[in-house]
Structure 1
Amino acid sequence: MTIRRLILLALASLLPAAAFAAKVKPPAAVLREATTSLAAVEFAEAGSEGRMVFRRLEKLGGDAEMPELIDLAIPAELRRVVLPSERYLIAYTVFRREAEQIRVARLGAQLLVTPGLEPALLRDTPENRALIAWQPGGDEKAVQARLPELIALLDARDPQQHNFALSEIVLRPQLAEALDGRARKALLRFASRADANANARGRLLQAATVQPEHFGKDGWKAVALDILATTPVRVQDVDGNATLVRFAFELVERDRATVAPEVLERWLTGDNAALAEMALLRLRAQEPAREMPALERALTLSLLPAGTREFLLDHRRRAALAAQ
Structure 2
Amino acid sequence: MNRTATVLAGLAAVLLSGCKVTMSEGFDDEPDRDSFSSGFFLYISNTGEDFPDDSWSLNTAGEVCIDDTLYFETDSGRVRVYGSSAYSETDFRAAATELERRIDGVLSRFQLRWPEFAEDRSTAVRYPDHLIGCLSPTLSRTEFASASVAAVSIMPYASQWPYDTDRIITHELAHYVQENLSRYQARESLLPLWFAEGQASVVAGEPIAPVYQHHDYDPLLDVTVYDATTADYRFEHYALAYHYLEEANGQLTLTVLLDLIQFADWEGLDGTTYSGESEAFVEAFNTAGLVDHRNRYLSLDRFKTEYHQLLNDSY
TM-score by length of 2: 0.29
* Structure possessing the higher radius of gyration over alpha carbons: 1
TM-score by length of 1: 0.29
**Structure with the bigger percentage of helix:** 1
**Structure with the bigger percentage of strand:** 1
- The higher relative CO (CA closer than 8 Å, separation ≥ 6) is in 2
